[in-house]
Amino acid sequence: MIPESDTLLNVSAAKLMMEIAPALPPGYAQGGASTLAIVLILSAQEYARGADTRIWENARMAELLAAGGIDPGPDAASNTIPDLNLANNARRAKLIALQARVEGETGDAARQREREILAFLKESADRRRLYLPAL
């Protein structure tokens, strides 16, 4: 069995937090090791769902942009995180422009589009939420 990256990150975090950090002198080194352990735990969570989150975001932003009359641009070249991020960043910039435009418009259609954008942003933040374990 080949362990997944999130497992390796969590095992490394536990080793840092439970064995290495307590063996270091109190202060900077101990705090640094503990902080690194927390970063590893959060990285493991991002590894587990990062691509799925970006694929959903990219698809939803494409829908919102198209509904607002804006070309969403090309899809990601692949489902790797760097490629998904390139498409995500380009679409986010266009979504910001669409949101700014809609906020300056009047009427029910503009308010509906604004609500849809805000609902997307909320769900996106929820999907990207990371959790600190009880230590």
**pLDDT-derived band at 134, boundaries 50, 70, 90:** confident
Q: Spell out a b/e string for 122-135, using b for 16 or more CB atoms within 10 Å of the CB, else e.
A: eebeeeeeeeeeee
Query: Which structural domain, as residue segments, surrounds residue 66?
Result: 5-128
- Looking at the 3D structure of the chain, how many domains does it have? 1
The pLDDT of 83-107, averaged and rounded, is: 97
Residue 135 belongs to a domain: no
* pLDDT at residue 123 tops 70: yes
Alpha-carbon distance of 65 to 97, in angstroms, equals 10
pLDDT in tens, 6-15: 999 999 999 9
Residue 65 belongs to a domain: yes
Residue 134 belongs to a domain: no
**pLDDT-derived band at 135, boundaries 50, 70, 90:** low
pLDDT in tens, 52-89: 999 999 999 999 999 999 999 999 999 999 999 999 99
